[in-house]
Amino acid sequence: MPLRGVKPEAVEKRLKLLVYGPPGVGKTTAAIQFPSAYLIDMEKGSQNYAETIKKSGSMVFESSNPDDIKTEVTALLTEKHPFKTVIIDPVTALYGGLQDKWNRIFEKYATTQKQSELQDFGFRYWARVKSDYKSIMRMLTALDTNLIITSHQKDIYGTGMQRVGVGPDSMKGDEYVFDYVFALENVSGKRMARTVKERAEIGQQKFPEIFEWSYQNFCKFYGQSAIERESNPVILATAAQVEEIKKLIELVNVGEETISKWMTKEDVEDFSEMESAKIQKYIEAIKKKLETVKGGK
């Protein structure tokens, strides 16, 4: 089989960042500096900044229900809207909300009283929490908008329970999801961002090691055109496409291993999460295989 690699092309990517810091450092205040933003506020932290948010052409959706948030993110992903930045404030509450949701479900169906009281539901419980969380994160990172995720800060411990530093209080591995991770600090009365992680060509980093957090500086360092361009909706697979591919899979007897490879390649867990154009390619490939099988007969 011939190799399928291609030469990579430079792409003007949206700004996708995770920012964390101690209480009172101003994570919410920092995030809402971005105009034309859609703020998903899980801790009602925006209520003190109503005028600032209105003046910047932004809107707020208040909820601590992870299912409501997933519905809202789906709409932001698939519908035309004027927002250039989406803010989740804070992701710590989203992760905690998903744990609470699955605690209630597993407690309801616990097989023993002891299991219910201890809430020790094991691997299946954590698998559901992580699956839900990753599904929302995939949609967020797929948005054709800038993305600002704020997080509480927590202590990080090494061997022997020795404190080795601080990091975001969210699901383990979140730092790998984002192109940029910043730690917010208060230095001599100024809100400063320390660059913890940046994905960039060697020697072509955009952000200084430490800089004053401001919308103007983000435009300066990252590029105003990338930050301020209009967003476009993503067209997801239709119900008809999902139904069709499932029927074709049964007809051709496509194996679970192959389907798993497709899901991994497209970074989804279900056909309904695939983009319409991508699922259509799989549909056409299966149809072609089906025609080959019929022709052989």
pLDDT in tens, 213-245: 999 999 999 999 999 999 999 999 999 999 999
**pLDDT above 80 (res 116):** no
Q: Taking residues 112-118, report their average pLDDT.
A: 55
Confidence of residue 2 (pLDDT cuts 50, 70, 90): confident
**pLDDT above 70 (res 114):** no
Mean pLDDT of the chain: 91
pLDDT above 70: percentage of residues in the chain? 94
pLDDT digits 0-9 by tens, 243-297: 999 999 998 888 899 999 999 889 888 899 999 999 999 999 999 988 876 665 5
- Per-residue pLDDT, 1: 62
Token pair of 288 as six digits: 């072609």
Domain residues of the chain, as ranges? 16-228, 239-296
Pick the CATH number of 16-228 from 3.40.50, 3.30.70, 1.10.3470, 1.10.10: 3.40.50
Q: Taking residues 191-197, report their average pLDDT.
A: 96
pLDDT digits 0-9 by tens, 35-92: 999 999 999 989 999 999 999 999 999 999 999 999 999 999 999 999 999 999 999 9
- Per-residue pLDDT, 275: 94
**pLDDT above 80 (res 12):** no
Q: Which residues pair with 186 in a beta bridge?
A: 191
